[in-house]
Amino acid sequence: MDRVVIIGGGPGGYEAAHVAAQLGAEVTVVDTDGVGGSAVLTDCVPSKTLIATAELMTEVSESAELGIDFADHEGDAATTIKVDLGKVNARVKQLAADQSSDIAARLDRDGVRVVRGRGRLAAGMTVVATLPDGSEETLEADAILVATGAAPRTLESAQPDGERILTWEQVYDLDEVPDKLIVVGSGVTGAEFASAYLALGIPVTLVSSRDRVLPGEDADASAVLEEVATRRGMEVLSQSRMQSVTREGDTVTVTLTDGRTVTGSHCILALGSVPNTADLGLEDAGVATDDAGFITVDRVSRTSARGVYAAGDCTGILMLASVAAMQGRIAMWHFLGDAVSPLDLKKVSSNVFTSPEIATVGWSQKAVEEGEIRAEVVTLPLAGNARAKMQGVRDGFVKLFIRPGTGIIVGGVVVGPRASELIHPVSIAVAESLTADQLAQAFTVYPSMSGSIAEAARRLHRV
Ligand SMILES: Cc1cc2nc3c(=O)[nH]c(=O)nc-3n(C[C@H](O)[C@H](O)[C@H](O)COP(=O)(O)OP(=O)(O)OC[C@H]3O[C@@H](n4cnc5c(N)ncnc54)[C@H](O)[C@@H]3O)c2cc1C
């Protein structure tokens, strides 16, 4: 029986474990923190649980237009509802712990052995696990998967203290609502936290070193987000590079490189991630890494060392739970001889869970503008959609990219409430190379937001 040893129990690791067990291998997962990884315990699941509360707050605070009257209070509903952050965070932590237990139970049902400890590669295709009591266990393997994830990047001049200067892993220990929050970093993580805490009624300043928020996303989409966020009261400081973050008593000061300072009661650092690849024995095992420490892999998750695969954030390919899981599955399909398609990043759909959400799949407008691909583009504002009008939704759009000539859909962007759900038909079209006409042919419910996707496809009809 093939023996597979997996280091790291996040989505890259545990999804691979399921596949390997299904294909008849003897599987051991070595994990330090509890299965589910950062995805379940500190990153993806907790942040989206927090955002679920934020979404409800946004809906309630904007419900006056729909005839909701908070009878005992005067003025804007937003000023009359408030969040119990202690309760929210307790729910977040419980939900994450429960999710981790569910994953552990499923692994157990599949016959996967989970070893609590820190793993490292050792000579002769073995993994040595250092257990919590300090003892070591050596695990022999026919294949090894490294899926150790990544951790928040911090700077010497901006050290988290866990109380007021926080990484995204530490925010769930807050039980009092911050008076004023500064979020440093306007990538996906920074934008999501800034948007969520603003919705929870907290004054937020977003410090962005770039000229717009979400510099990696569709420019029209980030423009909508910035417009909505500032309309709701967020202060966005663009082209403002943080130099240091310091704390004195209850006050946190962010000093910018041009000398300006921003003060608040709390600061979240969202400065990107560093891979958990130090002290793993990679070099001795012949596993190549790049300058930033990310493990180099090919499209079937092979590293430079025979029999050693890597998946997820430690490879830095596209730091998403869904991609980590797919890389892990692909590694096992490849090693155990099952049918396998190499990872295709042009089929990955992803979402920024801000308000409004921004979902994308396939080729981007930037790639079209830079001549990487030829495509026609149509953009349809959601404001004209009947369902959107009923729900009081004005911000957002649907954008589709098609190949000229064939009409095949090669990408799309949806900005709006629940864009993460709305992107799926576009994602299927991209994965299956459907044409705009084929997408337009399928019935959509009337009235529905998805009607705008079909309408955008109809506008791309060519005679
Ligand atoms: C705030 C935030 C929100 C996010 N939201 C989303 C989202 O909505 N959707 C999405 O798709 N992605 C999201 N992501 C990204 C997602 O969390 C990661 O892409 C995903 O966690 C990667 O999975 P992984 O298996 O590579 O690593 P991880 O989930 O980090 O798991 C790796 C595990 O390995 C353990 N480990 C490390 N070293 C060792 C060792 N030597 N021995 C044993 N165990 C070890 C770690 O402790 C960890 O438990 C988010 C990220 C952040 C920061």
What's the number of CA atoms in the CB half-sphere (13 Å) around residue 132?
6
Please say if the pLDDT value at position 82 is more than 90: no
> Would the CB of 43 count as within 6 Å of ligand 1?
yes
5: phi > 0 → left, psi -120 to 50 → alpha, else beta; which? beta
Please say if the pLDDT value at position 73 is more than 70: no
Tokens 């990696």 correspond to 216
Centre of ligand 1 to C-alpha 425, Å, is 27
The residue type found at 106 is R
Centre of ligand 1 to C-alpha 33, Å, is 11
pLDDT tens for residues 191-233? 999 999 999 999 999 999 999 999 999 999 999 999 999 999 9
Centre of ligand 1 to C-alpha 146, Å, is 12
Among residues 30, 34, 151, 163, the alpha carbon closest in space to that of 93 is found at 34
Q: Which of 19, 31, 118, 139 for mutating ligand 1's site (highest number of atoms within 8 Å of CB)? A: 31
Among residues 342, 453, 357, 344, the alpha carbon closest in space to that of 402 is found at 453
> Would the CB of 6 count as within 6 Å of ligand 1?
no
C-beta neighbour count of 233 within 10 angstroms: 12
Strand-pair category, 143-146 with 349-352: unpaired
Q: Name the token pair of 130.
A: 């250092």
pLDDT tens for residues 421-438? 999 999 999 999 999 999
> Would the CB of 13 count as within 6 Å of ligand 1?
yes
125: phi > 0 → left, psi -120 to 50 → alpha, else beta; which? left
pLDDT tens for residues 258-300? 999 999 999 999 999 999 999 999 999 999 999 999 999 999 9
Cβ contacts of residue 69 below 8 Å, gap of 6+? none
Q: Name the token pair of 401.
A: 């990219």
> Would the CB of 15 count as within 6 Å of ligand 1?
no
Please say if the pLDDT value at position 74 is more than 80: no
The one-character DSSP state at 155 is: B
Q: Name the token pair of 56.
A: 């409800």
Query: Could you tell me the pTM of the whole model?
Result: 0.96
Considering the chain, what percentage of its residues have pLDDT values greater than 90?
95
SS3 62: coil
Among residues 254, 104, 105, the alpha carbon closest in space to that of 166 is found at 254
What are residue 198's phi and psi, to 5 degrees?
-60, -45
Q: Which of 148, 167, 318 for mutating ligand 1's site (highest number of atoms within 8 Å of CB)? A: 148
Q: Are 323 and 317 in contact (CB under 8 A)?
A: yes
SS3 334: helix
- 424-428 long-range Cβ contacts below 8 angstroms, 24+ apart: 424/349, 425/450, 425/453, 426/349, 426/361, 426/362, 426/400, 426/453, 427/347, 427/349, 427/361
pLDDT at 70: 72
Please say if the pLDDT value at position 78 is more than 70: no
What's the number of CA atoms in the CB half-sphere (13 Å) around residue 113?
10
pLDDT tens for residues 357-403? 999 999 999 999 999 999 999 999 999 999 999 999 999 999 999 99
> Would the CB of 130 count as within 6 Å of ligand 1?
no
Ligand 1 atom 12: the closest Cα is on which residue? 320
Q: Which of 172, 320, 330, 352 for mutating ligand 1's site (highest number of atoms within 8 Å of CB)? A: 320
Report the Cα–Cα distance between both ends of the chain, in Å, rounded: 59
The one-character DSSP state at 330 is: H
Q: Are 43 and 168 in contact (CB under 8 A)?
A: yes
Task: In whole angstroms, give the CA distance from residue 330 to residue 301.
Answer: 7
